[in-house]
Amino acid sequence: MKSFLFLMVFVAAYCKSQQILPLNTALDNIPNNAQVKDLNNELNPYIGTYKANFQGNEVTLFITKEENKLEKRMNKQFYRDALIVKYIVKNTSGLILQDTQNNSYNINKLNSTKIRNSQNLVELNYSGTNCGIGWGIIKLKKINSTQISWDYEPNSTSIGEDCPTNADKTIYLPETDNLIFTKQ
């Protein structure tokens, strides 16, 4: 009985000490081990499978919501509800150019960092392809219940000295603004 009582006190103290904050809390205001939660289900309208064609390639986005995703930034760690985007890019012949559905997230990581409700907009960090080529911010704007607009301009397309010469350095994601994706 003493063990059970101790366990209950420990769990209550742990839960009480973990601060829950809304999605758009600034990074500087997030304490270590806090939870940044989607308290108002602001991410849910983006969840789904979307398709678009760009320069002859078919791009399919698979957008899901991950709760309590561990983030490590500025010498602290916290948990965030985030959109996770995986994708497939196929050429006109149906050949898969890039598929991140089974990605271990060492490269091609694409997840949300900000939501701007007044603009129906969510910002995603993109870690880039091999060697970080193409890293940057992608903005998804909710147009209506079946369409989102895509804006992406990579911050860097340069190749570092430590990048293997045989690495695929192609950015397969559409480098454009206002590309319309339709929910499937």
Q: Round to whole Å and give the CA distance between 38 and 156.
A: 31
Q: Given the structure tokens 């994706």, which residue do they identify?
A: 181
Query: What's the gap between Cα 28 and its chain centre?
Result: 20
Q: Round to whole Å and give the CA distance between 61 and 85.
A: 6
- Tens-place pLDDT, residues 75-109: 899 999 999 999 999 999 999 999 999 876 656 78
- Tens-place pLDDT, residues 129-182: 888 889 999 999 999 999 999 999 898 766 767 788 888 888 999 999 999 999
Residue ranges of domains in the chain: 17-183
Query: What's the gap between Cα 101 and its chain centre?
Result: 13
Residue 142's DSSP bridge partners are: 148
The amino acid that residue 150 corresponds to is W
